């Protein structure tokens, strides 16, 4: 694309804020980064200046290291003024991790959707030393590689409570279409789905800012995963509906503050890319499933690259997301293989198309 093209995605701030430091990306809006111990090694958090204190957007994992960075941020860039409110975009640990800590240690009010709050509180209680029967069953249905399944069956699984601080009772609910005041601006609350249920995005009514969480990421695609919590879910369909729903509101000069990677402009272009990427993946999957395969055997058409051990879990839940979508759309049949995996296959088209 040519320079100056309005359909281009641009990154006005390419210098990433260093640990414990902040970049002012708009008046009264600070961008900060916290480390994550994963392939995706950081999460963006923001602080909105309310005059008497701050509204913080998302929090990072609950680790000693993240708390220490927050202490440094509060004493430094946040000028020692209190974090009065924490708005959590969705219930994933990299976003909600320290919300409870801000509530109990810093007397902050938690603001999020009812869904995100209930999910967080529910998952915090779901602690296990070994995977539950439901998890093993879900992984078998997904066609998890037998060696990985064997390994996982005998080790401590991912536990939400390992990286999310305990959350005391009480939160303030935000809902679709509401106006939310923070950082000297009025924001329209718009909820998305697919990556996490009822994911909050905030659209400024006073300037071009959009706070996006993981709903509107640049350069990487949000994981659209199915979990044992709801094995028949269709996050891909919900994601596509959300992208289509956001399009009429999106403008090229919106300045989007995402949960990961760099702030950017060019939102309509990005939304069309996100929609096209999944339609492309679904088209390749249809071709692949002319012959029966488990979700675990659908990585090549979906991801077009080899999947390392560190990404296997995310790839598997996303593969289930894509087969579930085609199944819900009535395009696939499924049969059980002897080992308990669903084998998915395209229905034969009646008119020979």
Among the listed ranges 14-22, 64-72, 197-205, 211-219, the one in contact with Zn ion (CB under 5 A) is 211-219
What mask of x and - would describe binding to Zn ion in positions 263 to 302, judged by CB under 5 A?
Answer: ----------------------------------------
Residues 6+ away with beta carbon under 8 Å from 154 = 130
Tokens 């974090």 locate to: 83
Tell whether residue 259 is a contact of Zn ion (CB under 5 A): yes
Nearer to Zn ion, 44 or 265 (CB): 44
Q: Report, in Å, the least distance between residue 36 CB and Zn ion.
A: 8
Is the CB of 100 or the CB of 131 nearer to Zn ion?
100
Contact between residue 343 and residue 337 where contact means Cβ atoms under 8 Å apart: yes
The nearer residue to Zn ion, 94 or 297, going by C-beta atoms, is: 94
CB count within 10 Å of CB 114 equals 12
Q: Are 140 and 220 within 8 A, CB to CB?
A: no
CB atoms under 10 Å from CB of 36, counted, come to 19
Least distance CB 278 / Zn ion (angstroms): 18
- Specify the stretch interacting with Zn ion by CB under 5 A; choose among 125-133, 151-159, 212-220, 249-257: 212-220
What is the nearest approach in angstroms of Zn ion to the Cβ of residue 179?
Answer: 25
Is-contact 110 164, C-beta < 8 A?
Answer: no
Single residue of 58, 94, 297, 318 touching Zn ion by CB under 5 A: 94
The interface region with Zn ion, picked from 158-166, 191-199, 254-262, 280-288 by CB under 5 A, is 254-262
Specify the residue, 243 or 323, whose C-beta has the smaller distance to Zn ion: 243
Main-chain dihedrals φ then ψ at residue 120, nearest 5 degrees:
-60, -50
Contact range with Zn ion by CB under 5 A, out of 135-143, 171-179, 258-266, 321-329: 258-266
The answer to the question of residue 234 lying near Zn ion (CB under 5 A) is: no
Nearer to Zn ion, 97 or 131 (CB): 97
Contact, 192 vs 113, CB < 8 A?
Answer: no
CB-CB contact of 220 with 39 (8 Å)? no
> Of 30-38, 99-107, 213-221, 328-336, which part binds Zn ion (CB under 5 A)?
213-221
CA dist 43 and 260 (Å) reads: 5
Figure out which of the listed residues 58, 214, 297, 311 binds Zn ion, where binding follows CB under 5 A.
214
Q: CB 198 → Zn ion: shortest distance, Å?
A: 15
- Number of other CB atoms surrounding residue 352 within 10 Å: 5
**C-alpha span between 236 and 258 (Å, rounded):** 20
CB of 95 to Zn ion, least distance (A): 6
By C-beta, is 259 or 296 nearer to Zn ion? 259
The pair of three-digit structure tokens given for residue 334, joined into one six-digit string: 């499924």
| Number of continuous H segments (helices) and E segments (strands) in the chain | 11, 14
The candidate with the shortest Cα–Cα distance to 286, out of 338, 316, 318, 330, is 330
Residues that bind Zn ion (CB under 5 A): 94, 214, 259
């Amino acid at each position: 694309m040519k320079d100056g093209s309005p359909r281009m995605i641009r990154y006005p701030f390419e210098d990433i804020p260093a640990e414990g430091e902040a970049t002012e990306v708009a008046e009264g809006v600070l961008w900060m980064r916290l480390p994550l111990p994963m392939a995706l090694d950081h999460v963006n958090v923001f602080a909105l200046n309310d005059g008497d204190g701050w509204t913080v957007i998302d929090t990072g994992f609950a680790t000693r290291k993240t708390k220490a960075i927050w202490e440094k941020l509060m004493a430094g860039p946040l000028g020692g003024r209190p974090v009065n409110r924490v708005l959590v975009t969705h219930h994933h640990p990299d976003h909600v991790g320290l919300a409870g800590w801000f509530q109990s240690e810093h007397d902050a009010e938690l603001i999020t959707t009812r869904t995100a709050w209930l999910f967080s509180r529910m998952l915090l209680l779901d602690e296990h030393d070994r995977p539950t029967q439901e998890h093993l069953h879900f992984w078998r249905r997904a066609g998890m590689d037998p060696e990985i399944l064997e390994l996982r069956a005998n080790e401590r699984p991912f536990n939400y409570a390992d990286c999310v601080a305990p959350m005391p009772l009480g939160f303030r609910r935000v809902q679709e279409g509401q106006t939310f005041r923070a950082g000297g601006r009025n924001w329209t609350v718009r909820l998305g789905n697919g990556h996490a249920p009822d994911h909050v995005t905030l659209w400024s009514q006073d300037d071009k800012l959009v706070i996006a969480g993981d709903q509107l990421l640049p350069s990487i695609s949000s994981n659209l995963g199915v979990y044992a919590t709801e094995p028949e879910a269709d996050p891909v369909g919900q994601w596509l509906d959300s992208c289509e729903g956001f399009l009429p509101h999106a403008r090229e000069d919106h300045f989007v503050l995402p949960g990961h990677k760099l702030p950017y402009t060019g939102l309509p272009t990005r939304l069309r890319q996100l929609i096209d990427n999944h339609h492309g993946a679904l088209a390749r999957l249809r071709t692949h499933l002319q012959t029966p395969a488990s979700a675990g055997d659908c990585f090549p058409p979906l991801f077009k690259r080899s999947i390392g051990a560190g990404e296997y879990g995310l790839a598997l839940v996303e593969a289930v997301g894509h087969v579930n979508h085609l199944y819900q759309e009535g395009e696939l049949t499924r049969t059980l293989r002897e080992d308990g995996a669903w084998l998915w296959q395209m229905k034969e088209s009646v008119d020979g198309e």
